[in-house]
Structure 1
Amino acid sequence: MPFAEYHEDARNVRTPFVHGSAGSNNLFVVLCVLVVALGPIQFGFTCGYSSPTQVDMIRDLNLSISRFSMFGSLSNVGAMVGATVSGQIAEYFGRKESLIFAAVPNIFGWLAISIAKDSSLLFMGRLMEGFGVGIISYVVPVYIAEISPRTLRGTLGSVNQLSVTIGIMLAYLLGLFVNWRVLAVLGVLPCGILIPGLYFIPESPRWLAEMGMIEKFEASLKFLRGPNVDITMEAQEIQGSLVSNNRTDTLQFGDLKRKRYWFPLMVGIGLLVLQQLSGINGVFFYSSNIFASAGISSSDVATFGLGAMQVAMTGIATSLVDRSGRRMLLILSSSIMTLSLLLVATSFYLERVVSNDSDLHQLLAMLSVMGLVALVIGFSLGIGPIPWIIMSEILPPNIKGLAGSTATFLNWFTASVITMTANLLLNWSTSGTFTIYAIFSAISVVFSILLVPETKDRTLEEIQASFIR
């Protein structure tokens, strides 16, 4: 059924999910979010794939450690390219078409890896996966923010990061039971289900309004809110906000000096960059060594346990973000990360300088593990999911494409730098490395206290109006 006909019919459709009550209407929005959440599950699966497959891939394809490391890092390279064009694609084609555009190279990328006989197909497939993931990482939080009621926007926005952690955990879990080729075939499933699933959900009403498709905009908004809900006020608010922003549609570089532009851009970029400067990727890179030093023999199982804990804590954050607010969770999260990183740094420092007391060394190793667990808890509670939510909420519509692409690119670029430098820094000084990460986490605390606005219980239009005032 064509999109326009689908939404025209949707005006009169009566399903178990749409009967005019807030609960049933919200349930349909939740179902829309669950469909697009397949994208970040793919994101997480891509991130987690290389960990359980390293030994077998190196053996089967006769790869060197350096070539396998290149295979792992190419997803970041592809993601940076995808992030660079993600905003422009989302603005030109719409949110749904952009996700299809991202899903197709992901599918072909996984198939290329599954049949690879040498590193050339591996590298090509990994780049294709990364390109799709770069687009997904921007488009999904934006789509969720644009369809969600303001009272649920934080909770539903957190589903993005929750899905990423589920994808990572699934890669770890399935990697314990199947070989790397079968795991690559399983990697096709999220995007393979996403493409037909997108056919049954509406396009973002805000994007339709921005494109001047007023009838489709009203049909989409009505479909999301329910046939018995009066959408007049919300529709007028959305259109009024777009009219206000369209006055400066031909944005000049000098316009960025105005607070309504530079402030949300600075907050969005700052949070996404600080998220990675906390060193979370570097810490996960070293987690197996920490587990080994604590006497935990099966590092793969322990790493899966860490991934499962991350899913559980992100789930808790999902339930809290619309109750406690974004800003408070960011401050709490960054504070926990700072203290836990300092605990790990201190443990490694003391382990290096104290005498050869085996009992003391074992105690310090266990403290390192406790610090790592606390770090994952802290990251999952706030600094993991919330920067993506805030980025999707605060960027003005007329610069959202370019600004969102820039913020997403810088997030991926910083993640790449952290991943590439982690091993060098850890060889230089383990305690020094974790101290550096702790300093950046402390900066996140100050940044959140001084600069991050609270967006809880405010419509996207109210948030934009606050920057204008």
Structure 2
Amino acid sequence: MATREENSAHVEVRQPLVDGGLDHGSTGDQWMVYLSTFVAVCGSYEFGCCVGYSSPTQSAIREDLNLSLAEFSMFGSILTFGAMIGAITIGPITDLIGRKGALRMSSAICVAGWLAIYFSKGAWPLDIGRMAKGYGMGAFSYVVPVFIAEIAPKHLRGRLTALNQLMIVAGVSVSFVIGGSMADRGLICVVITGLIPCAVTFLGLFFIPESPRWLAKTGSQKDFEDALQKLRGKDADISQEAEEIQDYIATLDQLPKAKLLDLFERRYSRSVIISVGLMICQQLGGINGVCFYVSNILEQAGFSSSTGTIIYAVLQVVVTGIGAAIMDVAGRKPLILTSAAGLLLGCVLTAISFFLKVHQLSPEAVPILAVTGILVFIGSFSIGMGAVPWVVMSEIFPINIKGQAGSFATLVNWFGAWLCSYTFNFLMSWSSYGTFILYAVINALAILFVIVMVPETKGRTLEQIQASINK
């Protein structure tokens, strides 16, 4: 359990980090905050485009390059392997070259990946390009929310952070629609889903300030004050917020440097179990298998893949927006329980559809059950299981261990994503309805895990949450 002195330190430094600073009764001119956020979340959009690209182009790419099922499964899943590397290496890189430098580097790597895919003549160049995109995607998954959190004022932070998740699902949706209409590696598809968002981020970074908190941490006092003034407006009084940020940086420097092995101390064990457990539930419940290969799933069930993916794309954007809006009202635990129950139902409906198809029963019901199951699945994931595990993870670890904990949980998350996406096609070849029965069982276990282990964190300070968990 944290000592009184540790808790006091947490209280002193928490506000600037979590709330993005104080507005002190003046909102100032926020146009630079909006512009900076837009530039950053183009990286989130790129993230979504990378995820959604493989599903609508599966048949065309396999035919074009004569890929086996195993080779295409490697192409689809190697994205998450690259993302694992990106997620665990981008933290130190971001601290070394800055948030803008990390965003620029991630954009450049993604561009190289997209070009490699477009010009590929075989499986190996295709995989290298996909892995490069994965690295950039994993890097974006870390640096975009960090940058937004560090530049946003208190009264805008929640909405701007939610925009990050919305842009991810928007990227997935656009990739589905564009990829479905092009159905290959066409230049238009690559430019719209890959190169344009990277170009916006890369070029836009020349017109926005660096994170004031990173500048303060590196001791660049003049640049820190200039950046904060640009973000808050030329007439805004930044003196108190600047002082709070500098106090936070000074206190952070006095905290012991955490190591990864410190996570396995007894006082952090419940937090580790909760965060890792939620990441496993999120990924092994089937989301990446469904997301990467939704077109193929619908085709196998006899439903129009183009129509199904468009409905899928629109639904996940709308439901993600609803989930972000109600999270602080409904609470974390009710949302994720509702989400897991919906995932279970979606898997059962899809399993029944494929069971009927395999045994040639009620053929007219097969496509309707399949598309209903898939839409229930993605809608349920979007309302809670997609975002809540990351929110809970950010709340349950003390500040001195949060960086290491975040890296570890992110690694587990991306490994689970790789495992799910790589095995999906093999599971479907083994048994289409058996695959979704397996995912249903995992989602049922997720419900039990959340009921038993996950606390409700709504309306509690970080110190209260951490004191109750890390005893």
Q: Normalising TM by the smaller chain, what interval?
A: 0.7 to 0.9
Letter in 1 for 2:50: T
- Equivalent position to 1:115, from 114, 119, 126: 119
Q: Deviations over 1:221-275 (max 9, x none)?
A: 4443445555555555544444444333333567436688555555443333321
Report the Cα distance in structure 2 between the residues aligned to 1:286 and 1:118, rounded to whole angstroms.
Answer: 21
Query: Equivalent residue of 2:258, what SS?
Result: coil
> For 2:211 and 2:61, how far apart are their aligned partners in 1?
41
How has the CA–CA distance of structure 1 residues 130 and 456 changed in structure 2, closer, same or farther, with 3 Å as cutoff?
A: farther
Structure 1, unaligned runs of 5 or more:
1-17
* Aligned equivalent of 2:17: none
Q: Which amino acid aligns with 2:339?
A: S
Matches within 5 A, 1:252-271: 255-256=262-263, 264-271=271-278
What's the offset of the Cα at 1:37?
A: 0.9
The Cα shift of 1:383 comes to: 1.4
Alignment of 1:8-407 (within 5 A): 21-22=26-27, 24-25=29-30, 28-178=32-182, 179-182=184-187, 183-186=189-192, 187-231=194-238, 234-251=241-258, 255-256=262-263, 264-284=271-291, 287-288=294-295, 291-292=298-299, 295-296=302-303, 298-346=304-352, 348=354, 358=362, 361-363=363-365, 365-392=367-394, 396-407=398-409
| Residue 387 of structure 1: how far off its partner (Å) | 3.0
Shift of 1:443: 4.1
Q: Tell me the secondary structure at the aligned position of residue 413 of structure 2.
A: helix
Identity %: 42
| Aligned residues of 1:335 and 1:441 also touching (Cα < 8 A) | yes
Aligned length: 445
Aligned equivalents of 2:208, 2:84: Cα separation in 1: 28
Instruction: String of CA shifts for 1:181-213, please: whole Å, max 9, x gaps.
Output: 312243211111101212233333333344344
The SS at the match of 1:203 is: coil
Structure 1 counterpart of 2:454, from 451, 455, 460: 451
How far the C-alpha of 1:393 sits from its partner, in A, is 5.7
CA offsets 1:26-52 (integer angstroms, 9 cap, x no match): x64343222111112111212222223
C-alpha separation in 2, matches of 1:150 and 1:441: 36
Cα distance between partner residues in 2 of 1:226 and 1:466:
40
TM-score, normalization by structure 1: 0.81
| CA shift for structure 1 position 413 | 0.9
Sort the Cα spacing of 1:44 and 1:463 in 2 relative to 1 into closer, same or farther, 3 A: same
Identify if the C-alpha distance between structure 1 residues 265 and 138 changes in structure 2 by more than 3 Å, giving closer, same or farther.
Answer: farther
Instruction: Provide the secondary structure at the position in 1 that maps to 2:439.
Output: helix
Alpha-carbon shift at residue 95 of structure 1 (Å): 1.9
2 CA distance for matches of 1:374 and 1:148? 34
Give the drift of 1:149: 4.0
Residues 276 and 415, structure 1, Cα contact 8 Å, conserved in 2:
yes
5+ residue gaps, structure 2, are: 1-22
Hey, what's the Cα distance between the residues in 2 that align with 1:198 and 1:302? 37
The offset of 1:365, in angstroms, is 4.7
Letter in 2 for 1:406: F
1:431 CA displacement: 4.2
Q: Deviations over 1:106-134 (max 9, x none)?
A: 11121222223333432322222111111
Whether the 8 Å CA contact 2:29–2:232 is kept in 1: the answer is no
Amino acid at match of 1:114: Y
* 1:422 corresponds to: 424
Cα deviation for residue 349 of structure 1 reads: 5.2
- Mapped contact 2:285–2:440 kept (Cα < 8 A): yes
User: Secondary structure at 2:209's aligned position in 1?
Assistant: coil
Take 1:315 and 1:226, find their aligned partners in 2: how far apart are those partners? 29
CA distance in 1, matches of 2:374, 2:56: 20
Aligned counterpart, 2:9: none
Q: 1:211 to 1:274 in 2, by over 3 A?
A: farther
Determine if contact 1:261/1:396 at 8 Å carries over to the other structure.
no
Q: Deviations over 1:62-111 (max 9, x none)?
A: 44443333322322222222122122212222222111121111111212
